[in-house]
Amino acid sequence: MKKPIKTIHNTETNEVITREMTDEEFSQHKANKETQKQNQDDLETKALAKSALLAKLGITEDEAKLLLS
């Protein structure tokens, strides 16, 4: 598998280096992607649970906010 390209820009010298990620950087990149996917899945699960609860209670999100304020 080809590794992603990394661009480094030194703002002091205006030098731009474009290179393939190192093994360590690529491992971290994959771990970050997995964490991001898990976080997105968690948000979607919470949103579905919230919608289901509001439907079960028969109230809208605005009405729930009024009850909790």
The tens place of each residue's pLDDT in the chain, 69 residues long, gives 689 999 999 999 999 999 999 999 999 999 999 999 999 999 999 999 999 999 999 999 999 999 998
Tell me the residue type at 12: E
Q: What is the pTM of this model?
A: 0.66
Residue 2's pLDDT is 85
Taking phi over 0 as left and psi of -120 to 50 as alpha, with beta for the rest, 14 belongs to left
Rounded CA-CA distance 60/56 in Å is 10
Continuous H helices in the chain: 23-57, 61-68
Structure tokens at 13: 């010298």
Structure tokens at 18: 């474009």
